[in-house]
Amino acid sequence: MSKRINLREFQQDLIDRMQAEGRGGEQISTLGVRIAEQNWLVDMRDIGGVLPLPPLAPVPLAKPWFLGMINVRGALYGVTDLAAYLHAGKAASAGLGQAVATGSGQASGAAANRILLVADRYAFNAALLVERVSGLRNARNWTQNEVDGQIQYRDEQGNSWHKLDIAGLLMQPDFLHISA
Amino acid sequence: MAFKLALPKFKLPGTKAAGAERKIAGKASLTPLSARFPVTLKIRLLSGSLVAFFAVAAAAAYVNSRVADYTARYLTQSGKLLVLSQRLAKDAQLCSLGNDAAFQALAQSRENFAGILRLLDKGDGSLPATGDAAREVLNEVLASANKTLSDVRILEEGRLGLVTLGATVAGIEATSAEFRQQTLVLIRSASGAQKEYAIRFALAAERMARDATSALTTDAYQEQLGALGIEAAAAERSLAALPPEDSVTRRLAVLFEPYRINIKTLNAQSSRLAKAKSAAKSISGNIDLILAKSQQLIDAYQSDMAVRISGPIAVLAGMLVVLQLLVLAKVYLSDSRQRADEAENSNRRNQEAIRRLMSELSALAEGDLTVRATVSEDITGTIAESVNYTTEELRKLVARIMAAADQMGHATRQAEQISKGLLEAAQKQALEIRKAGESVQAMARSIQEVDRSAAKATEVGQRTLKATGMGGQAVRNTIAGMDSIREQIQNTAKRIKRLGESSQEIGEIVDLISDITELTNVLALNAAIQAVSADEAGRGFPVVAEEVQRLAERSAEAAKQIGALVRTIQGDTQDAVAAMEKSTLGVVEGAKLSDVAGQALKEIEQVSRELAALIDGISASTRTQTDMAGKVAHAMRNILQITQQATDGTRLTANSVAQLANLSADLKGSVAGFKL
């Protein structure tokens, strides 16, 4: 386990990569998350921030996947449990339904759960609860294919990834209709 | 009478003594009846009757004298009766004439008369009542006497009248002279009618004097009394007609007053007077009869005395006594003579019987014990009987002696065999004793061996004692070591516990680190997101963010591993603490066991000490045993000697038994001469 990191090499490597990134080429812009035991890729331009789950103010007479309201630096956001939402809407939704057919439908609620804030440019105070944030993922070199209009990726280890379309999600009428 | 007395006694002999005597005198059965009785019996009979006759004679004489005495007294009393009856008649005569003193004499006589009659009739303490022939005469006397006595009683009842009559007559006679003189004076002085009254009075007084005298003496006193009453009344009338103031008349009245009173009394008593007079007369008439009867009574008493038979009985009994004495003497003499004859006869018979007995017993002297003497009724009969008895007993004795000699021979043969066996046994015994002595000596040697072993055992015991002491010390050391081990273990356990606590703190710190890395990660992501939104200038930032994120991931990984390690350490420390507690318990247990071992060693010490003492005891007793064995060996030698002496004695006994057998044979030979 004693993999001592050579600070100098690390620093050199970092500088190299930053320069390489700066010279051109596409920058890494996707974030890997895990929802309902499935890997999803989220465009980082669609999200305004990531934060651990703060205290929730529950909303009465709401759908089960609408967990409640949170306060982030003075702004209020409505939190949607994505896993539950996907599970509930698998039959109704044509676009998303098939992709989430195998989901359990509920976020784990563990310490690793994170809230993704929807980017400010959508002007939509919505927050999405995901099971875990896997980290930045560069999907440029991954094989991709389309299944029923949905783009699926397969990484180097052979894991399959779904693409989470935030804009499409926001436009779904069910997503906006939270009253039970 | 003698025959009567003897007859009941004649039947008496039936007693054993008489029977025995009769048996001896059995041959004299032809002698007369009287001779059949033994002389002693005869003499006893005779003297019995003699005493009886004597008693009869004495009794008759006593009765005779008593009767004579009584008869004398009867005669005296009846003589008195004669005199008293005469005096009674005289007194009654005097009484009828009004003599007061005669009445007292009459009462006295009557008392005596009645007393004598009572005595004769009923008797008193010393004199029996009259009986037999005199009784009839006495009854006649009593009949007439009782009549006289009742007459006397009647006479006494008329005492007052008779005495008054007597006194009146005496008074009249005494005063008649003066009376006559006074009346003469009166007649002379009086005149006319008064003279006539005076003459009448004088006549009445004269007549009164005459009548009173005749009333006293004659039997016709009743008429006289009546006349006296009439005359007294006439005189009274005449006196009343006379002048009362005259001194002569007064004197006459005074003189006449007792006349009047007496005559009144006489008239009142006239009936009793009459009875008394007749009673006096009856007494006079009766007294002759009483006199005659009394005379008859005296005669009857005298004849009664003559009739008594007790006198002749006494004489007859005396004569019979003399006769009995004579008969007694005769019987005695004849008895002595008969005895002398009988003695001579029996002497002759005895001599003959003895000769016969001697001849019969001559065979006995030659040893023939079957001989029996004839048992006759002679004096030798009993001798023969006892000789027979003796011979029989002698025969039995000889038979027993022979049987005993046989038995003795048998017994001596047995004794011979027994003594032979005894001899052999004694020799065997000597042999055995010799062997036993040797065994005892061997035993003494082995006992000495035991003694030596015991001494060695004592040494071993001492060594054991030392070893156990050392063992005990070692156990104590062990216990101390265990105690220190326990303390050390406890210290170690404390330290390990502290270590566990430290590792927990490490875990907490690691948790904090992992939180920090998480936050770092989030921060890096946000930075990357911001960078994406930025322009060209921020193009390199996602690389940094990616790197930061990777570092954060790695550190989180490391922290996770540290946490796992810390958990492992905590589990291990807990296990170690538990193990140490267990070992502490084990150490305590070990200390306990060591303690037990120490105790056991102490007991071993005690036991080996006791063992040493016991072994000492054993060696002491083995020494005693050795001494005892020596004594036993000595005793065995003594026993051997004694056994040898016993053997010699048994030999001698066998010899004696052989001699005894010879002696019994001799005895048998000597007894064999008797014929049984």
DSSP E strands in B266-310: the ranges are none
Q: Give B308's pLDDT tier (boundaries 50, 70, 90).
A: low
Q: Do the Cβ atoms of B544 and A50 come within 8 Å?
A: no
Q: Amino acid letter at B156?
A: E
A113 touches chain B (CB under 8 A): no
Q: Do the Cβ atoms of B561 and A1 come within 8 Å?
A: yes
A12 touches chain B (CB under 8 A): no
Residue B255 pLDDT > 60:
yes
Measured CA to CA, the distance from residue B251 to residue B670 in angstroms comes to 165
Measured CA to CA, the distance from residue B295 to residue B129 in angstroms comes to 19
Residue B457 pLDDT > 90:
no
Q: Which residue has the higher pLDDT, B531 or B347?
A: B347
B530 CA: distance to closest CA in chain A (Å): 8
pLDDT at A128: 92
Q: Which of A27, A30, A72, A134 to mutate to test the interface with B (most CBs of B within 10 A)?
A: A27
Please give the residue of chain A at the shortest CA–CA distance from B551: A5
| Structural domains of chain B, with CATH | 38-158+283-350 (1.20.1330), 160-268 (1.20.120), 380-671 (1.10.287.950)
Q: pTM above the 0.95 mark?
A: no
Residue B340 pLDDT > 80:
yes
Residue B14 pLDDT > 60:
no
Q: Do the Cβ atoms of B533 and A45 come within 8 Å?
A: yes
Residue-wise pLDDT tens digits, B483-535? 899 899 989 989 998 988 998 899 899 889 888 888 888 888 888 888 777 76
Q: Give A22's pLDDT tier (boundaries 50, 70, 90).
A: low
Q: Which residue has the higher pLDDT, B30 or B301?
A: B301
Contact B497, B570 (CB under 8 A): no
Average pLDDT on A90-102 reads 43
3-state helix, strand, coil in chain A (%, to 5): 20, 35, 40
As a CATH number, domain A29-176 is 2.40.50.180
What are the strands of the beta sheet with A150-154, ordered from one edge?
Answer: A132-137, A30-35, A38-43, A160-164, A150-154, A143-147
The share of chain B scoring above pLDDT 70, in percent, equals 91
Locus of tokens 């009572």: B118
pLDDT at B423: 86
Q: Which two tokens stand for residue B205?
A: 């007084």
* Chain A residues whose beta carbon lies within 8 Å of the beta carbon of residue B539: 21-22, 27
B508 CA: distance to closest CA in chain A (Å): 16
Residue A70 pLDDT > 90:
yes
Average pLDDT on A100-111 reads 50
pLDDT at A100: 42
Please give the residue of chain B at the shortest CA–CA distance from A116: B526
Please give the residue of chain B at the shortest CA–CA distance from A19: B540
Strand partners, A40: A33, A162
* Chain B residues whose beta carbon lies within 8 Å of the beta carbon of residue A50: 522, 525-526, 529
Q: Do the Cβ atoms of A17 and B543 come within 8 Å?
A: yes
Strand partners, A76: A71
Q: For residue B539, give the nearest of A27, A48, A114 by CB distance.
A: A27
What value of ipTM does the predicted structure carry?
0.81
Residue-wise pLDDT tens digits, B348-386? 888 888 888 888 888 888 778 888 888 877 777 888 888
Please name the residues in contact with B303: beta carbons below 8 A apart, sequence gap of 6 or more: B133
Q: Give B1's pLDDT tier (boundaries 50, 70, 90).
A: very low
Please give the residue of chain A at the shortest CA–CA distance from B541: A18
Please give the residue of chain A at the shortest CA–CA distance from B515: A111
How many helices (H) and strands (E) chain B has is answered by 14, 0
A114 touches chain B (CB under 8 A): yes
Give the closest residue to B270 by CA, choosing from B233, B225, B217.
B225
Q: Do the Cβ atoms of B543 and A49 come within 8 Å?
A: no
DSSP E strands in A21-85: the ranges are 30-35, 38-43, 47-52, 66-72, 75-81
Neighbours of B469 (CB within 10 A): 13
Q: Which of A33, A46, A50 to mutate to test the interface with B (most CBs of B within 10 A)?
A: A50
Average pLDDT on B427-445 reads 87
Residue-wise pLDDT tens digits, B95-108? 777 777 888 888 88
Name the region of B133 (left: φ>0; alpha: ψ -120 to 50; beta: rest).
Answer: alpha
Phi, psi of A18 (to 5 degrees): -65, -40
CA distances to B260, B262, B504 from B180, rounded to whole Å, are 17, 19, 210
β-strand pairing of A150-154 with A143-147:
antiparallel
CA distances to B147, B302, B322, B340 from B141, rounded to whole Å, are 10, 16, 47, 73
DSSP E strands in A22-155: the ranges are 30-35, 38-43, 47-52, 66-72, 75-81, 114-118, 126-130, 132-137, 143-147, 150-154
Residue-wise pLDDT tens digits, B53-72? 889 888 888 888 887 888 88
* Chain A residues whose beta carbon lies within 8 Å of the beta carbon of residue B553: 135
Q: Which pairs from B349-356 meet CB under 8 Å and 24+ separation?
A: B349/B378, B349/B379, B350/B378, B350/B379, B350/B380, B352/B378, B353/B378, B353/B379, B353/B380, B353/B381, B354/B380, B356/B380
Neighbours of A26 (CB within 10 A): 8
Kind and range of the H or E run holding A163: strand A160-164
**Burial class of residue A133, CB neighbours in 10 A (0-12, 13-18, 19+):** buried
Q: Amino acid letter at B537?
A: A
Neighbours of A9 (CB within 10 A): 9
Q: Do the Cβ atoms of A28 and B542 come within 8 Å?
A: yes
Q: What is the DSSP letter of B26?
A: G
Crossing angle between the packed helical segments B310-365 and B39-96, to the nearest 10 degrees = 170
Measured CA to CA, the distance from residue B426 to residue A174 in angstroms comes to 144
Q: Do the Cβ atoms of B549 and A45 come within 8 Å?
A: no
**Burial class of residue B7, CB neighbours in 10 A (0-12, 13-18, 19+):** exposed
pLDDT at B144: 81
Q: For residue B532, give the nearest of A10, A22, A44 by CB distance.
A: A44
Neighbours of B509 (CB within 10 A): 13
Average pLDDT on B323-328 reads 88
A52 CA: distance to closest CA in chain B (Å): 8
Contact A46, A170 (CB under 8 A): no
Residue B28 pLDDT > 50:
no
**Burial class of residue B45, CB neighbours in 10 A (0-12, 13-18, 19+):** buried
Buried b (16+ CB within 10 A) or exposed e, B68-77: eebbeebeeb
Compute the residue count for chain A.
180
Q: Which two tokens stand for residue A2?
A: 């004693």
Residue-wise pLDDT tens digits, B553-582? 888 888 889 889 988 988 998 899 899 889
Locus of tokens 């005990």: B472
B576 CA: distance to closest CA in chain A (Å): 27
Residue B159 pLDDT > 60:
yes
Measured CA to CA, the distance from residue B488 to residue B431 in angstroms comes to 83
Instruction: State chain B's mean pLDDT as an integer.
Output: 81
Locus of tokens 């999803």: A40
**Separation of first and last alpha carbons in chain B:** 69
Residue A107 pLDDT > 60:
no
Q: Where are the domains of chain A?
A: 29-176
Q: Which two tokens stand for residue B397?
A: 């004795």
B499 CA: distance to closest CA in chain A (Å): 24
Residue B3 pLDDT > 60:
no
Residue B597 pLDDT > 80:
yes
Q: Do the Cβ atoms of A136 and B549 come within 8 Å?
A: yes
Q: Which of B511, B521, B525, B553 to mutate to test the interface with A (most CBs of A within 10 A)?
A: B525
The share of chain B scoring above pLDDT 90, in percent, equals 3
Q: What is the DSSP letter of B377?
A: S
pLDDT at A28: 66
A29 CA: distance to closest CA in chain B (Å): 7
